[in-house]
Amino acid sequence: MFHTSRFLKSAILFLGLFTMPVSAKCAEVTAPGARVVTENDVRCGSHDPDIAIAGCTALIESGLDTGSILAAIYQLRGIAHYNKGLTDQAIADQTSVIGLRPDFAVAYYVRGEAYLKKGTADQAIADYTRAIALKPRYAEAYSDRGVAYGRMGLVDQGIEDENRAITLQPRLAEAYCDRGLLYRTKGLNDLAIADYAKAIALEPAYGRPYYERGLARHAQGDREGGDADIAHAIQLNPNSGK
């Protein structure tokens, strides 16, 4: 799952001579050489999924790009499709990326995210595992594979993956949230609350750990503390818990 409420954050993808905003997890640098920048290139990198899909589709249909540039365009369109909830289209786009760049770990990761969002955790696990094989220190892939294991009822395996993610990237707040959820599944609310506190310390403006800590506090009988956490989560993100 894409971290922070499972959507993409912004970062930089260098495509030829210009930059595009995409996920911090999915940022890659390509050096395809000189290339004339067009309006559709800029649209393809838009934060607005509809604009990005239109721009990327125009580039793909032009037939002018090949290789790594075309792979990057499919990747961006797949991310935009994911952000619109169009998981089948996102999967198809990342499959196209993999066809062009079979060694591209991020494409397997993004496709795994789409499979997880679609509810096919077993296929997500297969893609995360491939991403990790290509990029052994891929903390986010470990973390999200942990979530997928949890959804399949393999909670202990999920916790092992979250532990690995945290070892690789100790400041990955989402991994603490994901491990906290797995602890809650086992009824280990004290451990869950400690993980949510760590996530909050790392990202104080992040609503999810407040919300989930509120649920863990409710489970412990701390109604007042739980209500306060949930209220703060909703203040930070009105969609918390939805």
Mind listing the pLDDT tens digit for each residue in 105-143? 999 999 999 999 999 999 999 999 999 999 999 999 999
Taking only the tens place, the pLDDT of each residue in 150-185 is 999 999 999 999 999 999 999 999 999 999 999 999
Give the pLDDT of residue 196: 98
Q: Please, which pLDDT band fits residue 94 given cuts at 50, 70 and 90?
A: very high
d(CA 150, CA 30): 35
Q: Please, which pLDDT band fits residue 9 given cuts at 50, 70 and 90?
A: very low
Q: Which of 129, 209, 142, 128 is nearest to 170 (CA)?
A: 142
Phi and psi (nearest 5°) for 235?
Answer: -65, -40
Reply yes or no on whether the pLDDT at 191 is more than 90.
yes
Domains and CATH numbers, the chain: 1-135 (1.25.40.10), 162-242 (1.25.40.10)
